[in-house]
Structure 1
């Protein structure tokens, strides 16, 4: 199984997700950290990612050439200019063109309301993703 985890800024969400995946999923699964910057990418690699890639060019090239089973990303990947300007149009386009399963994390923001998710902690969304990925193992 080959899973990509995309995150930006300090990659706190990506780190949490990768640690949880390493604790609960088979150790031979490949986890690729896709960071919008080198700081975030290195934190995700230290959290257990198999390999990391940073920046717009690396992200877009990865999406074009790699065959992956799924990708997990914050909802900001769907909107160019989000994650404090770290997401570009090229990144959004590359992400939407992927044919693999996509898990979108509805990260809360004061100016963005995703109905029915406001009271659900991000930990629950991560647990739901892990549960879904475990189904592949069985």
Structure 2
């Protein structure tokens, strides 16, 4: 299973996601880090991603080759992350046939109504559990 983790700005959310996925799966999954900037990519690489790339073209060229895309809900919104998420990046995420697993971080003027507001570590825990469920189903086939 190949998982793309997308983050921007300082890469803190992506770093946390990569760390937890690496703890849960060790080397059983391949983690690709995609940053909207080099700082975000570097943070996710340091956290244990297998590979990483920065920017618009990297996302356009590679997001069709992953099974799951994870990040905050902002990764599907053009001009989010203080303008770092370009329309082309958001479109690449949306057009990919990969399953999208988005954390509802209520920043960037996007609010997901009906979702319980929880601290990031709790949301990442739910994300990792859901990916674990999908991974187990894939392994049993």
1:128 CA displacement:
1.1
Aligned to 2:107: 109
For residue 86 of structure 1, the aligned residue among 84, 104, 107 is 84
TM superposition outliers: structure 1 runs of 4+ over 6 Å: none
From the superposition, tell whether residues 2 and 116 of structure 1 become closer, same or farther in structure 2 (CA, over 3 Å). same
User: Does the CA-based 8 Å contact 1:80-1:87 persist in structure 2?
Assistant: yes
1:118 CA displacement:
5.2
- Provide structure 1 residue ranges, at least 5 long, that are not aligned to the other structure: none
Determine the C-alpha separation between the residues in 1 that align with 2:3 and 2:109. 30
User: Does the CA-based 8 Å contact 1:108-1:118 persist in structure 2?
Assistant: no
Determine the C-alpha separation between the residues in 1 that align with 2:55 and 2:114. 32
DSSP-derived class of the 1:124 partner: helix
TM-score, L = length of structure 1: 0.90
- Provide structure 2 residue ranges, at least 5 long, that are not aligned to the other structure: none
1:111 CA displacement:
4.0
1:25 CA displacement:
1.4
User: Does the CA-based 8 Å contact 2:72-2:103 persist in structure 1?
Assistant: yes
Determine the C-alpha separation between the residues in 2 that align with 1:69 and 1:30. 10
DSSP-derived class of the 2:81 partner: helix
Aligned to 1:63: 63
How many residue pairs get matched? 136
1:1-138 alignment to 2 at 5 Å? 1-64=1-64, 66=65, 68-109=66-107, 111-117=109-115, 119-135=117-133, 136-137=135-136
1:121 CA displacement:
1.8
Determine the C-alpha separation between the residues in 1 that align with 2:28 and 2:6. 20
Encode CA deviations 1:87-134: one digit per residue, 9 max, x unaligned.
Answer: 111111111111111111111228443223353222222111111121
